[in-house]
Structures are given as C-alpha cells and as structure tokens.
Structure 1
Amino acid sequence: MEFDALMLSRIQFAFTIAFHIIFPAFTIGLASWLAALEFNWLRTGNPLYRNLFRFWVKVFAVSFGLGVVSGIVMSYQFGTNWSRYSEFTGNVLGPLIAYEVFTAFFLEAAFLGIMLFGWERVGDRLHFFATCMVALGTLLSAFWILSANSWMQTPAGYAIENGKAIPVDWFSIVFNPSFPLRYAHMVLGCYLTTAFAVAGMSAWMLLRHPHDAPEAKLAGSRRSMSMALWFATIFVPVQIIIGDLHGLGVLKYQPTKLAAIEGNWNRMDNMPLRLFAIPDEVAETNHYEIGIPKIGSWILTHAYDGVVPGLKDVPPEERPPVWPVFFSFRIMVAIGFAMLGIGLWSLYLRWKGTLFTNRLFLTAAMIMTPSGFGAVLFGWFTAEIGRQPYVVYGLLRTADAVSPVSAGAVTASLLTFVVVYAFVFGFGSYYLAKLLRRGPDPVEDIRGEDLGKKPKRPFSVPDEGLEGKPGDKPLPAR
C-alpha cells in the first residue's frame, strides 16, 4: 500500500465522513422522535412527554451542531482533494447538493430557532409545526444526499460530452435505479439508530436507580425506553426485508460488488451462504470457509438454483478490495440480528411484566446503545468500498478523480483535521455525557407556562435548572 496523494485523500475523506455520518444518522431519527413526543403531549396533556421533549431537544441541538460543522468540512474536500471528480460530475451533482441546501437546510434553519427557543413565545401548535418542519427538513436533506450518492452507484439520465457528465433526464437522475431502496434503507437505519440510542441511554438511567425508586425519577426513562423498543421491535424486521430487496438491486446493477460481499470467486448456482471465510485476493480463493450449502443462492436471487456472479468474471483491476467489503457487510448483518434479538426479548419481558426491572436486559440494551451507529458505518463501508475502483460506477475511476496535489499537503490537512476533530468532538461528547448523566427531570420539576419574560435557557448545563442560575428551584407544574 503506497501512501500517495490518492490514498491519503481517500483516508482523509473516509475519516471526515465517518465522523460526520454518525450525527445525521442520530439527528434524522431524533427530530422525528421529538415530533412524536410533542404530538403525544398535545394529544394527552401528560406533562411527562413535554419533560422528555425538553431533555432530548438539548441532545438534538448539540448533535445537530456537530453534524453541521463536520458536513461543511466534507464539502470543501470536493474542491481541494477531488477537483477532477467535481469537474466530471458537477453538472449533475452540483444542482442536487444545491437543492439540499435550498429545500432542507433552509427549512431546518428557519424553524430550528422556534423549536429550540420559542415554546414560551409561540403557541403550542405553532411550536409543534416548527418541530415537524425540522423533522421534515432532516428527511429532505437525506433525500437529496442519498439521491446524489445513489447516482454515483447507479448513474442514469446523463450523457458524456467533452469528458463531463451532462444531465439529460432529471427525473432519471434523481430517481436513479438504486435510490428508492437505498433511501428507505438509510432513513429507517437512522430511525433505528435513534431508537437504540434512546433505549440504551434510558436503560443506563434506570440502572443508576433502584427499581423501587420514586416513580417521578423513573417515569421519563421508562417511557423513553418503552417507546423506543416498540419502534425497534416493529421496524427491525422491516429493515431486514428492505435490505434483502436492496440486495437484489445490487445483484442487478453492481454484480462485482455483490461478488465481493459474498466472497464468491467463481460464477455459480447453488451458492452456499458463507458465514465466515478469509478471502485471499492473491490466490483468488477463501480460507477457513464456513457456510450453509445452497442457501446463499436462494437469499441473493430468491431461487435455489439462482446464478451468483463471481469476482473472476472481471479482471483483477476491476475488483473492489474483497476483505473489507466481505467483513463489513457481515458485521452490519450481525448487528441487525442482534437488534432483532433485543426486540424479541423486550416483547417477552413485557409479557412477564419485568421490562424495566430485568437488569440483564437493561445491561444488554445499554450495550446496544451504539449499535445503530455501527450498522450505519459498516453499511456505508460496504457500499462505498464495494464501488471501487470507481467513484462513479463504470464511468470515473477513483484514481482519475483526485486533485493534482502533493502527498505532503494532504498529510498536513489530514493531521490538522485529526487534531481539530479531537478537540471539537471531544468537548461535544463531554457535554452530551453531562446531559445524559442527569437524564430527564422528574415530572414535578416541569415548569409552568406562566414564566413572565424571563429568557429560556434550553442548553443549560446539568447543574442548572431549565432556566435561570445554577441552583434555582424549579417552578411547580400546574
């Protein structure tokens, strides 16, 4: 492996996007979670939901800010490190990114301030509308970003003129063949990321208190965990089905990627389901292979004698790195089935009436807190590394997309990013940890509506009340 400008640019982009994607993966789901909490508060009048909203909106605000900061850095790299890519795709992808800014980012920016600071300044329904608009903005942002990325995976609606991709059919560009399922898969992945993060954090809060502690201290964590686990139990199976359908699309449009995912070297029918293997790219074979006969073809093609493409169908220079694609996919799938297990376990404990008191389950749920982030990251590793050696599948090779910059320049910027990210995200993570350590306030600590003109402080540190100076006694609920 030669650490030239190409390799270092790839490492730098992988580093920045890996940091960035964990925040949108969380905030996309968290925005809808906030909308659900506020809807339930308006529907039932139960102050518990409003208290939960006040707690989770702080987590959302910090995560949203970190996501914006890391996203800006990524966009600059298209010009600094990948100028040839930008030149080739700019006429197609430039407008898609602009649409994301004009529709999603502006929508979020317009209503974010109302959602964070305006509950005591606008009516309840208008505030709920603002929360819904922020949630819609996150989904629109994912729509345009996934459309652009999916076009790189399955380009359509274009023509090549003077060495550049030119748009011909915008509908085909936006709704390219892989986009609908990839968008559904990603959005549901974000929702499940939030569900398991909320459930795990709530389980941690419950473990910190004895199960017979005053109900006011436990109610918020119990309600959060229950709602999150209901969502996970219902939608993890849906995500598995969407993933299976997406796999059929990969078989059709990116057969070499599928061959790398399965570690399949020779085109064959009745392919086994490989649970484990050590791919050897030099010998073009697998070592220590463990599999279930014939099942692989049925899963991948929905036919027992379905033909699965092999890596040897294309020359070695047209193949992606097999080892990282093979294992990242299996880690993602393993996390998905662990999520399914937690959901089924939670159903059993609900039936037994011990969902909030079974310490083994609470510990398992707490351990699963980062599982959604891991699934998203390893899913992206599979998709992006599996696309190699192309940055635009079948059209532009990654080696031809890099800027004419020196390895020294890329090294300097990469080290700078590492230092700055460690500082910024270190403080952000510390603040989030302080918020989570406190958890939702007891229900009786909810402040009343009649707050006069005293300004809200929605980002007060855990030692402060919801507004005012540290140590201020909360107003009683009405």
Structure 2
Amino acid sequence: MLEMFDVLALARAQFAFTVMFHIIFPAFSIGLASYLMVLEALWLKTDKDVYLKLFKYWRKIFAVAFGMGVVSGIVMSYQFGTNWSVFSDKAGPVIGPLMAYEVLTAFFLEAGFLGVMLFGMGRVSKKLHFLATVMVAVGTLISATWILSANSWMQTPAGFGINEAGQFIPENWFAIIFNPSFPYRLVHMVLAAYLTTALVVGAVGAWHLLRERENIEARTMFSMAMWMLAIVAPLQIFVGDAHGLNTLEHQPVKVMAMEGHFESHPEGAPLYLFGIPNEKEQKLDMAIGIPKLSSLILHHDLNAPMKGLDTVPDELQPPVGIVFWSFRIMVGLGMLMLLVGGISLFLRWRGKLYSTKFFHQMAVMMGPLGFVAVLAGWVTTEVGRQPYTVYGFLKTSDSLAPVEAPAVAVSLLAFIIVYFILFGFGTMYILKMMNRTPGQLAPLPSAPTRSAGTTQLASAASPKSDKE
C-alpha cells in the first residue's frame, strides 16, 4: 500500500510539475497573439510607426514563448501513455478526440500561418500578413477552447455512457464539449491570459519609462496595458464569481475546501480570510472570518445553510490546505490587479500616468504576478478535483499505470533538471529581449516588396518598407 502511494504521489508530482511549466507559456501566448493582432490593426488603420515598432518588438518575444509552450506541451502529453495509461484507456474515447480536434483545428492553423506572421512582413501584402496574424490569434483561442473542454469534461463529465470494460463511451458530443463548467472555465482562463499579458507588457513599458520617460513606444505599450488591466480585472472578478457558483452546483466538495468549511453551517456560513487547515482534526485553526458572508456571496442570502466537509468521508476530500491557500492567492492577486487598474485610471485622469515613478515601480513588480495567479487558479481547480481524475466516476488511484516508483522518480528528476536548464535559458533570453529599448531594433534584411504591381527590392529598415 505504501509503495502504491509513493508511485501515485510521484506520478502526480511529475504531471503537476510539467503542466505548471507548460501552462505559463500558453497563458502568455494567448494574450500576446491577440495583442499583436491589435497592434497590427492599429498600424494599418493609423499608419503610425509606433504600432509597427511595437509589433516587431513583441513578435520576437511571442515566437520564443510560443516555441517553449509547444515543446513543454508535447512532453507533458507523453505522460498519458507512461504514467496514466489506465486513465487513457478508460477516458480515451472521450479525451482522445477532443485532443485530436485541438491539433486539427488549432495547432495546424497556428503553425500554418505562424511563419507568414513572423517572416512575411515585406514579402507578402499587408492584408495577407494581417490575416496571418489574425489566424494565429484565433488559433490560440481555438486551442484553448478544445483543451479546456477536455479538462472541463473531467471536472463536470456529461454526455457519456460506461461500457462493460469500464470505458467512457461518447453518447452526446454536444453535451461532452459544452459540459456544465466549460463556458465558465473558458472565459475565466482567456481573461486570465489577457491579464497575464497585460501585466507583462505593462511591466516592460514601466521598466523602460523608468529609464526614459519620453520613449513613445514605452508610453504606448504601458498605456495599452493599463487600459486592458482596468477593463478586464473587474470583468474577471465577475466571471470568477459566476464560475464559483457553477462549481458550488457541480463540485460542492471543492468549494468546501476552498472556503475552509470543515463544519456545516445551518444558519449562514462565514467567509474565512485566514486560517490554518487542520485536516487531521477536521477544523480550521486560527480562523479569522466575516460571519455569514460566504452564504451571502454563494447563495445571496446571509442565512443560507451551507454543508461542510463533516458531511464528506475523509477519503473523498481533496487536500484542503493546498486548495484553501491557492484559492486565496488567486483571489488576493485578482484584487491587487483591480487596485492597480484603478490607480492607473486615477493617474491617467490626473495626467500623471507617465510621470509617477512609484507606480512604474509597482507595475514592474506586478509583471510576473499574472503567472502566479494562473498557477494558483490551476492548482485550485486540479487539486480541488481530487481524489478523482474524472469527477465522481474515476479515482486518481485507479487511473495510474502499472509503473514502478524508481522509474517515475528518475524521470521526474530528469524533467526537473532539463526543464530548469532549457526553460531557464529560454526565460533569460526573453528577459534579455524585453530589456532592449523598444523602437531601437536592428534593421531587417532586404525583402521583396510589391509596389504598383511591380516586384522590387526594398530595405525593410527604410520608412517605406516599415509600412509594407
């Protein structure tokens, strides 16, 4: 039994490690692809060089982040066959097609137009290049749609039957794809990606404003990022609340863990701001909360009764401590983003958005916190689903492949070493590119450009080719 627990813990740790490395890159590339689309659209509409320079600046960063995301995603998927082959066998008839649809409709779309977006400026027409940028942005969103549909089905399974071999057999693909939690999870994740990108773009803009306050490219990217933050942060809080209500309906045990409700509350449940979950004694130590506020938020009634983990067998409870704190980290960072967005509106109104040094320093420090919020939200979602892989139907312990603990431990160690080296250098390279002053890019090589129906060579660094 101990050996089985060790194998299960190691396999879960390996998947958690690889998926947490992977998710930060799609979270960034989804938002950055849309940002590139907006920049190119603004350049085509206004013919202002500032938008073209920012497009070229962030295009290079997107290429590296996109490549790192693809590599980490491929490695992660192999674990379905190595460590989780039983899960693949049982859930494969549902999960397999969803993953295949992602490749067919999204990855091929992105890969097909990515080369044109990265290398086609000055070589194809403006309209065709913009179409390529739009297709890459749309592809990232479609990719997120299929992946989140598959994950949401594991959270709130629907539209299936189970055959004699214990396999999940599709019966209604519409119900499978648009399962109960999918719309909420998709919108919540896409908005999280936009917020993550806005924080990174804002941090880079603020970093260069601290160096050179009059840099027009830095001002433009910083202004655009702060607008995104001010608009999307309150919207994300609204969507997050709706997602929480959906989770309460379909995964009430997860909400009990998120709220730290070990005990049932027949006349209104408190909202615990702080506490130390004590799973052994099934109580929340050092609890600090606001009476009845949890019932008001989740049921819109101060006196609404709420069940606690005392109604759930111990073996069916998720790791409460992890879920409790990851949820608070996510919510706390969301409130901090809301605050930063509000401050940016105030400073913009006062005409001091580009001259307030402390706010620029704050924006720089906020840069990586979008990734932290995404990871905290993902941990809340995935750990809160335990002890199931397919919620309510297939336990994690029953999804494991017949592998030995030493084999999983060695591969986990190899992943840790290779990932930190490979992605460490990749991240350093991205930071190095971000450190370059926007608007001062090296000239591009000469490229053929169409003018009045005649093909001619022109320097991509010249003002004329910058507009092609």
Same structural fold, with TM-score higher than 0.5 when normalized by the shorter chain: yes
Indicate the residue corresponding to 1:27 in structure 2.
29
Indicate the residue corresponding to 2:429 in structure 1.
431
Indicate the residue corresponding to 1:464 in structure 2.
none
Indicate the residue corresponding to 1:198 in structure 2.
201
Equivalent residue for 1:367, pick from 354, 365, 373: 365
Indicate the residue corresponding to 2:190 in structure 1.
187
Equivalent residue for 1:249, pick from 246, 249, 259: 246
Give the Cα–Cα distance (whole angstroms) in 2 for the partners of residues 93 and 388 of structure 1. Answer: 18
Matched, 1:45 2:47: yes
Q: How much does 1:267 deviate?
A: 2.1
Indicate the residue corresponding to 1:302 in structure 2.
300
Indicate the residue corresponding to 1:323 in structure 2.
321
What amino acid does structure 2 have at the position aligned with 1:41?
A: W
Is the 1:66–1:428 Cα contact (8 Å) retained in structure 2?
A: yes
Equivalent residue for 1:4, pick from 3, 6, 11: 6
Give the Cα–Cα distance (whole angstroms) in 2 for the partners of residues 420 and 126 of structure 1. Answer: 39
Equivalent residue for 2:259, pick from 247, 262, 270: 262
Give the Cα–Cα distance (whole angstroms) in 1 for the partners of residues 437 and 291 of structure 2. Answer: 49
Give the Cα–Cα distance (whole angstroms) in 2 for the partners of residues 476 and 72 of structure 1. Answer: 41
Give the Cα–Cα distance (whole angstroms) in 2 for the partners of residues 23 and 402 of structure 1. Answer: 27
Is the 2:204–2:364 Cα contact (8 Å) retained in structure 1?
A: yes
Give the Cα–Cα distance (whole angstroms) in 1 for the partners of residues 66 and 210 of structure 2. Answer: 28
Q: How much does 1:355 deviate?
A: 0.8
Give the Cα–Cα distance (whole angstroms) in 1 for the partners of residues 463 and 118 of structure 2. Answer: 22
Indicate the residue corresponding to 1:93 in structure 2.
95
SS of equivalent to 2:362: helix
SS of equivalent to 2:289: strand
Equivalent residue for 1:116, pick from 115, 118, 124: 118
Q: How much does 1:453 deviate?
A: 4.6
Q: How much does 1:39 deviate?
A: 0.3
Deviations for 1:359-382, whole angstroms, at most 9, x for unmatched residues? Answer: 100000110001111111000000
Indicate the residue corresponding to 1:207 in structure 2.
210
Q: How much does 1:307 deviate?
A: 2.3
Give the Cα–Cα distance (whole angstroms) in 1 for the partners of residues 442 and 401 of structure 2. Answer: 55
Give the Cα–Cα distance (whole angstroms) in 2 for the partners of residues 117 and 299 of structure 1. Answer: 50
Q: How much does 1:150 deviate?
A: 0.2
What amino acid does structure 1 have at the position aligned with 2:168?
A: A
Give the Cα–Cα distance (whole angstroms) in 2 for the partners of residues 401 and 446 of structure 1. Answer: 52
What amino acid does structure 2 have at the position aligned with 1:199?
A: G
Give the Cα–Cα distance (whole angstroms) in 1 for the partners of residues 33 and 462 of structure 2. Answer: 27
Deviations for 1:306-365, whole angstroms, at most 9, x for unmatched residues? Answer: 222211111100100100000000000000000000000001111111111111000001
What amino acid does structure 2 have at the position aligned with 1:193?
A: T
Is the 2:95–2:150 Cα contact (8 Å) retained in structure 1?
A: yes
Give the Cα–Cα distance (whole angstroms) in 2 for the partners of residues 346 and 453 of structure 1. Answer: 43
Is the 1:51–1:440 Cα contact (8 Å) retained in structure 2?
A: yes
What amino acid does structure 2 have at the position aligned with 1:332?
A: M
Is the 1:51–1:446 Cα contact (8 Å) retained in structure 2?
A: no
Give the Cα–Cα distance (whole angstroms) in 2 for the partners of residues 475 and 108 of structure 1. Answer: 29
Q: How much does 1:452 deviate?
A: 4.5
What amino acid does structure 1 have at the position aligned with 2:227?
A: W
Is the 2:123–2:448 Cα contact (8 Å) retained in structure 1?
A: no
When structure 1 is superposed on structure 2, of 106-115 and 258-267 the one drifting more is 258-267
Q: How much does 1:46 deviate?
A: 0.4
Give the Cα–Cα distance (whole angstroms) in 1 for the partners of residues 388 and 310 of structure 2. Answer: 18
Give the Cα–Cα distance (whole angstroms) in 2 for the partners of residues 333 and 98 of structure 1. Answer: 34
Deviations for 1:15-65, whole angstroms, at most 9, x for unmatched residues? Answer: 000000000000000000000000000010001100000000001000000
SS of equivalent to 2:304: coil
SS of equivalent to 2:287: strand
Give the Cα–Cα distance (whole angstroms) in 2 for the partners of residues 51 and 143 of structure 1. Answer: 31
Matched, 1:228 2:228: no
What amino acid does structure 1 have at the position aligned with 2:79?
A: Q
Indicate the residue corresponding to 2:284 in structure 1.
286
Deviations for 1:265-304, whole angstroms, at most 9, x for unmatched residues? Answer: 1222311111001111111111111111111111112222
Give the Cα–Cα distance (whole angstroms) in 2 for the partners of residues 447 and 405 of structure 1. Answer: 54
Indicate the residue corresponding to 2:455 in structure 1.
none
Is the 1:55–1:439 Cα contact (8 Å) retained in structure 2?
A: no
Matched, 1:156 2:158: yes
Equivalent residue for 2:377, pick from 376, 379, 387: 379
Give the Cα–Cα distance (whole angstroms) in 2 for the partners of residues 451 and 203 of structure 1. Answer: 33
Is the 2:326–2:379 Cα contact (8 Å) retained in structure 1?
A: yes
Is the 2:263–2:307 Cα contact (8 Å) retained in structure 1?
A: yes
TM-score scaled by length of structure 1: 0.92
Give the Cα–Cα distance (whole angstroms) in 1 for the partners of residues 433 and 304 of structure 2. Answer: 52
RMSD across aligned positions (CA): 1.7
Give the Cα–Cα distance (whole angstroms) in 2 for the partners of residues 308 and 376 of structure 1. Answer: 28
Indicate the residue corresponding to 2:309 in structure 1.
311
What amino acid does structure 2 have at the position aligned with 1:140?
A: I
Is the 2:50–2:439 Cα contact (8 Å) retained in structure 1?
A: no
Q: How much does 1:208 deviate?
A: 2.2
Q: How much does 1:418 deviate?
A: 1.1
Indicate the residue corresponding to 2:453 in structure 1.
none
Q: How much does 1:439 deviate?
A: 3.0
Give the Cα–Cα distance (whole angstroms) in 1 for the partners of residues 259 and 278 of structure 2. Answer: 13
Give the Cα–Cα distance (whole angstroms) in 1 for the partners of residues 211 and 400 of structure 2. Answer: 50
Gaps spanning 5+ residues in structure 1: where? 455-466, 469-473
What amino acid does structure 1 have at the position aligned with 2:56?
A: R
Is the 2:263–2:283 Cα contact (8 Å) retained in structure 1?
A: no
Give the Cα–Cα distance (whole angstroms) in 1 for the partners of residues 305 and 394 of structure 2. Answer: 28
Indicate the residue corresponding to 1:178 in structure 2.
181
Indicate the residue corresponding to 1:462 in structure 2.
none
Give the Cα–Cα distance (whole angstroms) in 2 for the partners of residues 237 and 344 of structure 1. Answer: 10
Give the Cα–Cα distance (whole angstroms) in 2 for the partners of residues 439 and 380 of structure 1. Answer: 34
Equivalent residue for 1:413, pick from 411, 414, 438: 411
Give the Cα–Cα distance (whole angstroms) in 2 for the partners of residues 309 and 170 of structure 1. Answer: 33
Is the 1:47–1:446 Cα contact (8 Å) retained in structure 2?
A: no
Give the Cα–Cα distance (whole angstroms) in 2 for the partners of residues 190 and 315 of structure 1. Answer: 36
Indicate the residue corresponding to 2:132 in structure 1.
130
Deviations for 1:161-188, whole angstroms, at most 9, x for unmatched residues? Answer: 0211000000000000000011000011
Give the Cα–Cα distance (whole angstroms) in 2 for the partners of residues 126 and 191 of structure 1. Answer: 25
SS of equivalent to 1:441: coil
Is the 1:265–1:284 Cα contact (8 Å) retained in structure 2?
A: yes
What amino acid does structure 2 have at the position aligned with 1:74?
A: M
Equivalent residue for 1:169, pick from 168, 172, 177: 172
Is the 2:122–2:447 Cα contact (8 Å) retained in structure 1?
A: no
